[in-house]
């Protein structure tokens, strides 16, 4: 035996082929939150859903979902959800390229999950999505979250694209700048007369109630910190809906940062520079005519509604 033969190493590779139907079942369970709801969507029995997942877990040798309420994906499950969504997207693009609709091809309409922050959804994001839906047979599934957290939904495979404040692309994604959502600190004249009658000082702000979107929203907190005020010492009201949030300010419940594009008529500015939140579009780095069409419509609308990045 020569030296080259002595140095040979035998490598055995096991190839695992994942059934697209089984991956789609995992995605349905995660989307719907339970086996029963996934079964209704897939037009099968809950027992069939359970058997599909059990078969897939045995094949892969790992758990793909956590049987909780709602059901959650494990790391392996998140990878399967991404696979299922990408397969569905490519199938839609292929059917469209043939000049067919999903009904013609005997396929279901493709579900397009997207993540967006509440203020964008309430002001500028829905018109471009509506235009895409008029041209393509899709079911849009919007996930609302703070712009600082929407990128995480891309990482988990829950969504195909997201409006986010993250300029660094998530793994397997590409990123494009959209623009800046500008906010002004606003309140009613009556509110100011009661709580901030003289100057907007740190001592006065520490006593003046503000409106907070939810416990993950940092906008008002950052504004207060920049003025030397501990936000957790200030009274606040939680109003977790963008329209109702602005309405609460208009009703005098408190002051808050309101998107300029949302309209601030009838309110008084507390002063200081605008708060600027840069927004970016991140989507799977997958050449998809449908996903690219959505991105183009979103970018076009953003160029009209948002301030430019600088």
Instruction: Please write down the long-range contacts of 303-309, taking CB distance under 8 Å and 24 or more positions apart.
Output: 303/179, 304/124, 305/123, 305/124, 305/179, 305/261, 306/124, 306/178, 306/179, 306/180, 306/181, 306/261, 306/279, 307/179, 307/180, 307/181, 307/182, 307/276, 308/179, 308/180, 309/177, 309/179, 309/180, 309/278
Q: What are the structural domains of the chain? A: 15-108 (1.10.10.10), 181-276 (3.40.190.10)
Element (H, E) at 136: none
Q: How far apart are CA 63 and CA 295, in angstroms?
A: 34
- Give me the pLDDT at residue 129, please: 98
User: Nearest to residue 255, comparing CAs of 216, 224, 215, 214?
Assistant: 224
Q: How many residues does the chain have?
A: 310
Q: How far apart are CA 280 and CA 74, in angstroms?
A: 27
- Give me the pLDDT at residue 147, please: 85
Q: What is the pLDDT of residues 140-199, one digit of tens each?
A: 999 998 888 888 888 888 899 999 999 999 988 999 999 999 999 999 999 999 999 999
**Pairing state between β 173-187 and 275-284:** antiparallel
Q: Considering only CA atoms, give the Rg of the chain.
A: 24
Q: How far apart are CA 267 and CA 285, in angstroms?
A: 43
- Give me the pLDDT at residue 103, please: 63
**Pairing state between β 110-116 and 161-164:** parallel
Report field, pTM of the whole predicted structure over 0.85: no
- Give me the pLDDT at residue 13, please: 47
Is 269 strand, coil or helix?
strand
Q: How far apart are CA 209 and CA 236, in angstroms?
A: 5
CA angle in degrees (0–180, nearest 5) for 111-117-118: 100
- Give me the pLDDT at residue 298, please: 98
Q: How far apart are CA 237 and CA 132, in angstroms?
A: 37
Q: How many CB atoms sit inside 10 A of residue 265's CB?
A: 5
- Give me the pLDDT at residue 155, please: 84
pLDDT per residue as tens, the chain (310 positions): 454 444 555 554 455 688 989 999 999 999 999 999 999 999 999 999 999 999 999 999 999 999 988 899 998 998 899 899 888 888 888 888 888 766 665 556 888 999 999 999 999 999 999 999 999 889 999 999 888 888 888 888 889 999 999 999 998 899 999 999 999 999 999 999 999 999 999 999 999 999 999 988 899 999 999 999 999 999 999 999 888 999 999 999 999 999 999 887 889 999 989 999 999 999 998 888 999 999 999 999 999 999 999 7
Is 257 strand, coil or helix?
strand
Q: What is the DSSP letter of 156?
A: T
Side-chain half-sphere of 243: how many Cα atoms within 13 Å?
A: 4
**Pairing state between β 110-116 and 65-66:** unpaired
Q: What is the pLDDT of residues 222-242, one digit of tens each?
A: 999 999 999 999 999 999 988
């Amino acid at each position: 035996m020569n030296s080259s033969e002595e140095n040979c190493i035998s490598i055995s590779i096991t190839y695992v082929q994942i059934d697209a139907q089984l991956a789609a079942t995992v995605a349905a369970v995660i989307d719907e939150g339970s086996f029963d709801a996934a079964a209704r969507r897939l037009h099968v029995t809950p027992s069939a859903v359970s058997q599909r997942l059990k078969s897939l877990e045995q094949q892969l040798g790992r758990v793909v979902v956590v049987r909780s309420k709602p059901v959650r994906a494990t790391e392996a499950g998140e990878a399967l959800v991404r696979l299922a969504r990408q397969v569905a997207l490519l199938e839609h693009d292929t059917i469209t390229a043939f000049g067919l609709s999903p009904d013609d091809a005997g396929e279901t309409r493709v579900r397009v999950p997207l993540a967006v922050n509440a203020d964008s959804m309430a002001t500028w994001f829905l018109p471009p999505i509506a235009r895409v839906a008029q041209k393509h047979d899709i079911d849009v599934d919007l996930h609302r979250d703070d712009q600082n957290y929407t990128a995480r939904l891309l990482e988990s495979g829950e969504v195909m694209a997201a409006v986010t404040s993250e300029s660094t692309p998530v793994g397997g994604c590409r990123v494009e700048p959209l623009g800046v959502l500008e906010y002004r600190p606003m309140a009613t004249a009556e509110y100011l007369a009661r709580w901030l009658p003289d100057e907007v000082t740190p001592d006065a702000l520490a006593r003046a109630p503000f409106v907070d979107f939810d416990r993950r929203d940092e906008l008002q907190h950052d504004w207060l910190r920049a003025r030397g005020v501990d936000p957790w010492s200030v009274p606040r009201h939680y109003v977790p809906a963008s329209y109702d949030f602005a309405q609460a300010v208009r009703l005098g419940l408190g002051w808050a940062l309101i998107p300029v594009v949302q309209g601030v008529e009838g309110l008084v500015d507390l002063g200081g520079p605008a708060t600027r939140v840069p927004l970016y579009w991140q989507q799977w780095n997958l050449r998809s005519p449908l996903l690219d069409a959505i991105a183009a419509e979103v970018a076009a609308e953003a160029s009209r509604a948002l301030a430019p990045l600088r």
